[in-house]
Structure 1
Amino acid sequence: MTTLNILSGGAAHGLVGKLAPAFKAETGLDIAGEFGAVGVMADKLRAGAPADIVILTAALVTRLADEGLILRGSITDIGRVETALAVRTGDPLVKVTDAASLRNALLASDAIFVPDTKASTAGIHVAKVLAQLGIDNDVADRLRVFPNGATAMRHLAESDARRPIGCTQSTEIINTEGVVLSGALPPECELATMYAAAVATRASLTPQAQRMITLLTSTDARELRSRAGFVA
């Protein structure tokens, strides 16, 4: 075995990438696997995809433990991730202070880039917010939906729309070149999701998976977590 297999929500992609060199230096292992919508990653685990470690929303990790797919004693919280707004690098930042200003900002945009509205944490929340604001029908033809937040942000960066905007988890915005974090959603519409790491029941490299969890959640990695978009 030369790789640690991971199934992870896109929110943790940047953080894992930053810690991968230290992990390899210590264990000799590279990290391989997939990062995407949490619902899709959970279904891959259920279908038998190889995984030593999973990083998903804490609620979903608990559900997978109930299903016998996760070692319950290995579950460790990493931190919360906010759903936020993004714009292309160089575009004016969009600042929203309440539901009304968020509604106006979305209506003023001619393209809205979001992750999967049925399987991703942020995408599901975006769909709820649009309905809450009463503009889901008004902006339906402006939505640009992609499999995960990272892909949505890459397409936002390349967009030739006049005033595009993105909405996904802050970690995916921070980790994408060509877009910048424009601000969190207002209190009435905010979402901060706890993410957790755990060892898969069918892991081939259980000790190494546990070591990666220790690196992800260590005091030494606190600054890395913060820069990646995780909050305590």
Structure 2
Amino acid sequence: MNQTGRFLCVLPLLFLLSSGVQAKALTVMISGGFSAAWEKLAPRFAAQEGYKITTVSGPSMGQSPQAIPARLARGEQADVVIMVGDALEKLDKAGWLAKNSRVELADSPVGAVVKKGTTPVNIKTEQALRAALLQAQSVAYSDSASGRYVSGQLFAKLGIAEQMKSKAQMIERIPVARVVAEGQYALGFQQVSELLPVAGVTFIGELPASVQYTTRFAGAVTKTSANAQEAQKLLRYLSSAAVQESIRATGLKTVATPQAATVQ
């Protein structure tokens, strides 16, 4: 986008500020898998609509106080939550979300990284992946959906669950690629969209299709939101055809049939 385009994008927000009209404010709680796309799209939406957006980051699940369910449980306020679909469903069943407000946003496959400068390993087939895991001195995986799959199912599918117990470690809160970049672990697994933004690593590919695990990311409006219509507009924007190229550029995949939110 050129300088003229950028200026035109922020005109709605500049008008609100100059006229003394208070911009609509939205607070969005979001987990890591959709964050790279969000960082691109949130400023565009804010400028387009004249909204002020506050972003609160945290895992979709897990025991840390930063996890989105924990934040909501202790009274932190949000208008929109964007997270792993299964975890979002649990929030819905627990009564945290506005009725029928869920919107499917993107699918995220699991991939792997090694430290930049080291020789990339082959994980293109089940056999190659199994060999890479057995040969790695240490392996890291996340504390979210992808990590639960890696530790709870993938190792068993490959027949190496026992061998991995002593050298595979769950990483809480921080991106797996970061500890690989620091040399703490030789091989790291997480959703591709969380691996690609981290410097100091080499992305070696997605898991083979036969053992791949795809995580759905979705968003919803909270039941306590005072800006439900604006929150709904945001989710419609994030699921629209116009932003899919930006979403795919972060390692996510377009949902086959995105659905628009209807808040009740």
Query: How high is the TM-score relative to the length of structure 2?
Result: 0.77
Question: Hey, what does 1:96 align to over in structure 2?
Answer: 123
Alignment of 1:30 with 2:53, yes or no, is yes
Which residue, 187, 207, 210 being the options, matches 1:185? 207
Native 8 Å contact 1:95 1:182 kept in 2: yes
Deviation at 1:201, TM superposition (A): 0.8
Query: How high is the TM-score relative to the length of structure 1?
Result: 0.87
Q: Alpha carbons of 1:175 and 1:195: their partners in 2 closer, same or farther (altered >3 Å)? A: same
Q: Distance in 2 between matches of 1:227 and 1:202?
A: 33
Of stretches 92-101 and 105-114 in structure 1, the one that deviates more from structure 2 is 92-101
Deviation at 1:192, TM superposition (A): 0.9
Give the letter aligned to residue 249 of structure 2: R
Moved over 3 A (4+): 37-40
Native 8 Å contact 1:8 1:35 kept in 2: yes
Aligned residues: 226
Percent of counterpart pairs with the same letter? 25
Alignment of 1:1-232 (within 5 A): 4-25=26-47, 26-39=49-62, 40-116=67-143, 120-127=144-151, 128-148=153-173, 150-159=174-183, 164-232=186-254
Of stretches 35-44 and 55-64 in structure 1, the one that deviates more from structure 2 is 35-44
Greater RCO, CA 8 A, separation 6+? 1
Deviation at 1:43, TM superposition (A): 3.6
Give the letter aligned to residue 55 of structure 2: A
Q: Alpha carbons of 1:196 and 1:37: their partners in 2 closer, same or farther (altered >3 Å)? A: closer
Give the letter aligned to residue 83 of structure 1: V
Compute the RMSD of aligned alpha carbons.
2.2
Deviation at 1:146, TM superposition (A): 1.5
SS at match of 1:30: strand
Q: Distance in 2 between matches of 1:54 and 1:146?
A: 23
SS at match of 1:134: coil
Native 8 Å contact 1:9 1:38 kept in 2: no
Give the letter aligned to residue 46 of structure 2: K
TM-superposition CA deviations, 1:136-168 (whole Å, max 9, x none): 3323332242114x522111111166xx11100
**Higher alpha-carbon Rg:** 2
Give the letter aligned to residue 204 of structure 1: A
Give the letter aligned to residue 34 of structure 1: S
Q: Distance in 2 between matches of 1:199 and 1:137?
A: 42
Which runs of 5 or more structure 1 residues have no equivalent in the other structure?
A: none
SS at match of 1:110: coil
Which has a greater percent of strand?
1
Q: Distance in 2 between matches of 1:2 and 1:158?
A: 41
Q: Alpha carbons of 1:204 and 1:132: their partners in 2 closer, same or farther (altered >3 Å)? A: same
Q: Alpha carbons of 1:89 and 1:205: their partners in 2 closer, same or farther (altered >3 Å)? A: farther
SS at match of 1:72: coil
